[in-house]
Every structure is written in C-alpha cells, then in structure tokens.
Amino acid sequence: MSTIIRLAIQKSGRLSEDSIKLIKECGIEFSSGGGTLKSMAHNFPLEVLFLRDDDIPGYVADGVADIGIVGQNVAVETRKTLEVVRPLGFSKCRLSIGVPKGFEYTSKESLNGMRIATSYPNILSDFLFEHNIKASIHEISGSVEIAPGIGLADAICDIVSSGSTLISNGLKEAEVVFRSEAILAACPQLSAEKRTILNEMLFRISAVQQAEKTKYILLNAPNHALKTITSLLPGVKSPTVMPLMEEGWSSVHSVVKENEFWEILGKLKDAGAEGILVIPIEKIVK
Ligand code: ATP
Ligand code: ZN
C-alpha cells in the first residue's frame, strides 16, 4: 500500500471551518460534515481525522495522526512534543488575566497572593514563574469567567476575543498572558515518505497564503504616464503592458499586496489610471 499522511483537525468548533477551507483550497478533495470521523481524500494521499481540539496534540505527538491543525494555546498547554511546521494565520485569540472591574490593578505584582481560575494551568504557571508572581492556580474546565463572581477565585486566566464576556461577568482585562493562532503541527518522527507528502502540502499552502494577501489589478493608462504607473506596480516579475485599440493608451496588468492596495490606488488615479479592476487571486506559484 502506498503511503498516506493523516491530518487531524477539529471536528466542530472555531478551528473547523478555516481548517477545512485551507485543505480544500490546496485542491485536496474530501468529504466532511455530518457525523464523519475520518475521511480519505480523493485526489491526494491524505486522510483527515475529525477530533476534539484538545486531543489533537496528543494524537500528533504519538503519531496516531501525522500532522494536525490546532491552536497554539492548546498545543502549548498540553506540553506534548510537537514540531511546529507553520503558523496558519487564523483563529487568532489571546489568553488574558481578568480581574474584577473595581479592583485596582497597577502591575503584574497586583496578582501576588491571588487565586486565579483557569483551564490553562500550564501556560499560566509558566507566566507566573517568568514574572516571579506568587499566586495560586485553580484549574477548572469551563465557565471560567464566573469563578470570581461565585467566590471561587479572585481572578481568571482565559481566552479573550472581544472582551464582552469579561465585561458581562463584571471583569476587566488586566494582562495578556499568551497570543495564539492556529498552527500546523507535525509528529517529530515522520518517515521520509510522509515528509515528502507534507512538503507537497506545504508548497500548496504557501501558494494559497501568498494569493490571499495579493490582488490582481488591471487598469488603463495613458502612455505618457506608463512609467509612473508601472513603477507603482512591481508585479510578481514586472507588470504586463498591452496597447489598447485607442491610440495613446495601454492596459496594465499586475498584482498588488492587499495591505498596500489603498495607498497605491490613490497614487494610480493621480497618475492618470482609469478603469481600475481589482480581482481576487486563487493561487500564486513563484
Ligand atoms: P472542542 O469541542 O473541539 O474541544 P473547544 O470548545 O475546546 O472545542 P473552540 O471554542 O472551538 O474549542 O476553540 C478552538 C480554538 O479556537 C481555541 O483553542 C483557540 O485556539 C481558538 N479560539 C478560541 N476563541 C477564539 C476566538 N474568540 N476567536 C478566534 N479563535 C478562537
Ligand atoms: Zn477543546
């Protein structure tokens, strides 16, 4: 039997949709949804396992799955030995300490002597140790935010996204302990054959990630402004310039970075560009 690689992703939760989307954008077809627990890709040597996110680091570390997509928070908290292959840029969140709204928090030293409730005892204990804070950790597995309100703890350490959960529980964010995003992790002992398959996947992931940050741009430019306009649009190699039917005008095609786009747009218009079209790109292979 030829080698396949097994990828563990979250079955249902905040990581699931983006994990599935990433694999599909890599051109790998597989069925998901319903009660599926595992699924073999039709056109790539990959099997997808659908698991609870907390189980993913252990499965990958033990080689039950070869690779996995999981939040850094969970990967670090479980203290499993994993190879972090690359950050994936989604499911960004932070782990923060929340204290009662009325508490006068001045610095990390304010945490001394506190009882802090959390589902992340390892990450919190590293943080307390690193900053030489003496506080006690109360591990609880869910609804951490209510712990101070019911007298179980003085503060909490939990995932914060907008902060509204903190506020509705009478808490405020005092300190960021850890910043997280989804990562692709691998079993440290992958065979050479599996490593080759992983590398092919990474090549495709790079093409998708490059494309997400880039847009294809087409515009019409008066020939006298071509020099200025093309200097604003470096392109993958250099812009394509083609003559228009109308004398003295050209069509310019190039790519622009998403984050530079608005700034460049103004300059292009000032330089005389017209009919500017901006189109999403699916993949970029350099
Ligand atoms: P499971 O049932 O698989 O155990 P869960 O309830 O533990 O799921 P989710 O709430 O789905 O986990 O979160 C999964 C991961 O998504 C978290 O570990 C974290 O990395 C990330 N995450 C959590 N909250 C947010 C958020 N508000 N925004 C973006 N990402 C988040
Ligand atoms: Zn979980």
What is the model's pTM? 0.88
pLDDT of residue 34: 79
Per-residue pLDDT tens digits for 173-214: 999 999 999 999 999 999 999 999 999 999 999 999 988 889
Q: What is the pLDDT of residue 212?
A: 86
Give the lowest-confidence range in 30-34, 193-197, 272-276. 30-34
Most distant CA pair in the chain, distance: 79
Asked if residue 111 lies in contact with residue 133, where contact means CB atoms within 8 angstroms, the answer is yes
Single-letter residue type at 235: G
CB 181 within 8 A of CB 86: no
DSSP-assigned letter for residue 120: -
| pLDDT for res 60 | 98
pLDDT value of position 236: 74
Supply the residue whose CA is at minimum distance from atom 19 of ligand 1: 71
Structure confidence at residue 56 (pLDDT): 98
Stretch 23-50: mean pLDDT: 94
Q: Ligand 1 pocket by C-beta < 6 Å: which residues?
A: 10, 13-15, 52-54, 71, 73-74, 91-93, 159, 161, 180
Out of 90, 143, 159, 166, mutate this one to test ligand 1's pocket (max ligand atoms within 8 Å of CB): namely 159
Chain position carrying tokens 């790109």 = 281
Which of 11, 53, 118 has the most ligand 1 atoms within 8 A of CB, as the residue to mutate?
Answer: 53
Distance 194 CA to ligand 2 centre (A): 27
Both tokens of 225, joined, read 């402004």
Question: What domains appear along the chain, each with residue ranges and CATH number?
Answer: 5-90+181-211 (3.40.190.10), 93-180 (3.40.190.10), 214-280 (3.30.70.120)
If you ran DSSP here, which 8-state letter would residue 229 be given? H
pLDDT at 235 over 80: no
Q: Find residue 172's DSSP bridge partners.
A: 99
Query: Is 1's pLDDT higher than 80?
Result: no
268/284 Cα distance (integer angstroms): 24
CB 5 within 8 A of CB 46: yes
Per-residue pLDDT, averaged over 33-39, amounts to: 88
Which residue do the tokens 């020939």 mark? 223
* Rounded Cα gap, residues 256 and 213, in angstroms: 9
Q: Predicted confidence band at 237 (pLDDT cuts at 50, 70, 90)? A: confident
Distances (CA, A) of 147 to 116, 169, 172, 192, 235: 9, 9, 14, 48, 54
